[in-house]
């Protein structure tokens, strides 16, 4: 029963893709099946393999350290306006309502954008993008600028 909603959603998205296709006869089932199998394999790897889960927990801890450092720096510059900073000159009745995006969220977005730009300049992200595009080239029939662009798009959407 836990898998019913995700399965229905998955099938609904596949159906919507077919419905809105300009030429439904040109859909190559081989690539659809390859994409579905890749998604299932990635799902199993990310949820069931302890080593991969530990790796992402380690990355998550690193992001939390970056957020703590960012909050400390923001508190130094903006004082009590920073996220979770003490010293407000008034009584706080709703601690959950003290988040100010410009001083709590935007500074972290700027920090992560700077790190992403640095990793791109040092050719770390292009290396990862090329590796992923090579991995998906044959099973999904993507390659050249289109395949590389689609793979790079993963990083641009998340950073």
Provide the pLDDT for residue 122. Answer: 96
pTM for the whole structure: 0.63
Query: Using one digit for the tens of pLDDT, what is the confidence trace for 124-141?
Result: 988 888 888 777 777 877
Cα 114 to Cα 70: distance, rounded to the nearest angstrom: 13
Provide the pLDDT for residue 52. Answer: 92
Q: Which of 4-8, 65-69, 105-109, 137-141 has the lowest mean pLDDT?
A: 137-141
For the residues 47-55, what does the mean pLDDT come to? 92
Q: Taking all residues of the chain, what is their mean pLDDT, rounded to a whole number?
A: 83
**52 token code pair:** 């991969």
For the residues 35-42, what does the mean pLDDT come to? 86
Helices 50-78, 29-48: crossing angle, 10 deg rounding: 70
Q: Which residues contact 141 (CB under 8 A, 6 or more apart)?
A: 28, 31
Cα 74 to Cα 21: distance, rounded to the nearest angstrom: 48
For the residues 147-151, what does the mean pLDDT come to? 60
Query: Using one digit for the tens of pLDDT, what is the confidence trace for 55-81?
Result: 999 999 998 999 889 888 888 888 888
For the residues 46-55, what does the mean pLDDT come to? 91
pLDDT at 157 over 60: no
32 close to 15: Cβ distance less than 8 angstroms = no
Cα 31 to Cα 26: distance, rounded to the nearest angstrom: 11
Cα 25 to Cα 3: distance, rounded to the nearest angstrom: 30
The DSSP output letter for 81 is: G
Q: How many residues does the chain have?
A: 159
Residue 99's SS3 state is coil
First-last CA distance in the chain:
35
Reported as a pLDDT band with limits 50, 70 and 90, residue 158 is: very low
Provide the pLDDT for residue 34. Answer: 86
Q: Residue ranges of the domains in the chain?
A: 28-158
């Amino acid at each position: 029963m836990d898998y019913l909603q995700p399965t229905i959603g998955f099938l609904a998205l596949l159906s919507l893709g077919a419905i809105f296709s300009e030429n439904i006869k040109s859909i190559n089932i081989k690539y659809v099946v390859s994409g579905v199998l890749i998604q299932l394999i990635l799902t199993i790897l990310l949820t069931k393999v302890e080593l991969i889960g530990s790796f992402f927990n380690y990355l998550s801890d690193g992001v939390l350290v970056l957020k703590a450092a960012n909050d400390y720096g923001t508190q130094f510059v903006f004082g009590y306006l920073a996220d979770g900073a003490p010293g407000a000159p008034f009584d706080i009745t709703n601690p959950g309502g003290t988040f100010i995006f410009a001083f709590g969220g935007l500074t972290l977005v700027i920090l992560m954008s700077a790190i992403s730009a640095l990793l791109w300049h040092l050719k770390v992200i292009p290396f990862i993008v090329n590796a992923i595009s090579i991995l998906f080239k044959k099973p999904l029939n993507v390659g050249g600028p289109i395949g590389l662009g689609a793979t790079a798009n993963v990083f641009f959407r998340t950073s």
